[in-house]
Amino acid sequence: MWISILAVLIASIPLANIGTVSSSTVGWIEGTVTDPLTGSPLVGATVTADGHANTTDENGNYTIEVEAGTYNVTASAEGYWDKVVKNVNVTASITIIVNFTLSKAVISVDPPIKSGSANANFMVNVTITDVFNLYMWEVHISFDPDVLECTGVLEGPFLKSAGSTSWSMMQPNIDNVAGTIKATDFLKYYPPQGATGNGTLCTINFKVEVEGKTPLHFYKKELWTYDGMVLVPIELGVEDGLFWFPGDADINGLADMYDFYMWREYFGKTTGEWPSDVNPDFNGDMLVDIEDFYLWRENFGKT
Ligand SMILES: [Ca+2]
Ligand SMILES: [Ca+2]
């Protein structure tokens, strides 16, 4: 199912090039590199074909001259994930078109850091940003089952904004012994457009077993778009989440006075109003208040 990329390989003979052929063994790879979300050409993107490289012009176009043969062609641009088209077959005197749309999608846990006291319940979202035409996703997340118990996974609004989904027939697999959550969802009837932009794929509910630390780690994350024939993987970045012991607002491994200062700085604030790499909300109720101070005091000196 991954060979769909052949769909974008359209061979053509450019008449303009015929007069310039210096060797009958030379052919060309050319195409455009664009941002799928805006449709804009990417200027100055680098395209390489096994050592031969060129950059895109102001219209996002590139040409690479190579000896006839088979090449892996890679496009890269700052702020985007590299994309590789494998086994591009170049024939002498022929131009083969390889167009790229580059992804900058990132999957993450939101909020990225949570803490909570024993028996507290909290939820985190699995969110996606900057995705284009999403049709299917699958994520596997691991956690320490001594620290957390997963009590449920709910479908988010993002994918179903594009059409009917498979969620009700593909129940998430939750294993509180191994500490794993496996969830997947796809657009059942392949509508003309998938889901584009930013949104929540699913919401995960946890119960705190004991105050402790565990990453919420994506050990598998795959997104697919649909090219009219088959599903095609979308390149993406990933940001794991973190469950952390209460009292350590600056996440340096120790609950001390600096964490109190941070708690005081964000007192009265709600989730989103403090930086994503700190956590002054020790009980995980999305608000920094006096309850969090009591937890800090209780945990003072802990590592
Ligand atoms: Ca600290
Ligand atoms: Ca709180």
68-80 tens-digit pLDDT: 999 999 999 999 9
Same domain? 201 vs 235: yes
Å from CA of 279 to ligand 1 middle: 10
Together in a domain, 114 and 236: yes
Same domain, yes or no: 31 and 112: no
Shared-domain flag, residues 160 and 219: yes
- Per residue in 216-254, pLDDT (tens digit) is 999 999 999 999 999 999 999 999 999 999 999 999 999
The whole-number average pLDDT for the span 33-54 is: 95
Q: How far is the CA of 119 from the centre of ligand 2 (A)?
A: 14
- The pLDDT, as a whole number, for residue 281 is 94
Non-local CB neighbours of 261 within 8 Å, separated by 6+ positions: none
DSSP string, 9-40: -EEE--HHHHTT-S-TTEEEEEEEEE-TTT-P
Residue 6 lies in a domain: no
Residues 46 and 135 both lie in one domain: no
Check pLDDT > 80 for residue 166. Answer: yes
* Residue 250 within a domain: no
Ligand nearest to the CA of 251: 1
Per-residue model confidence (pLDDT) at position 2: 40
Kindly give the distance from the C-alpha atom of residue 257 to the centroid of ligand 1, in angstroms, as a whole number: 8
Is pLDDT at 7 greater than 60 in this prediction? no
For the CA of 278, the nearest ligand: 1
Query: By residue range, what is the domain housing residue 38?
Result: 20-101
Please tell me what DSSP assigns to residue 298.
Answer: H
Q: What is the pTM of this model?
A: 0.85
Domain count, the chain: 3
As beta bridge partners, residue 61 has 32
Q: Examine the domain organization and report whether 269 and 293 are in the same domain.
A: yes
User: To the nearest whole percent, how much of the chain has pLDDT over 90?
Assistant: 87
Q: The dihedral of CA 274, 276, 280, 285: what is its sign?
A: positive
Token output for 115: 């803490």
- Ligand 1 ion: Cβ-proximal residues, 5 Å cutoff: 248, 250, 252, 254, 259
Proximal ligand: closest to the CA of 284? 2
Could you give the C-alpha distances from 165 to 134, 189, 202, 234, 270, in angstroms and in order? 12, 8, 13, 19, 32
- Assess whether the previous peptide bond of 275 is cis (omega < 30° from 0): no
Res 39: pLDDT: 92
Q: What is the structure's pLDDT at 22?
A: 54
Cα(263) to centroid(ligand 2), Å: 10
Distance 151 CA to ligand 1 centre (A): 29
Is 9 domain-assigned?
A: no
CB atoms within 10 A of CB 21: 13
Q: How large is the average pLDDT for residues 156-182?
A: 96
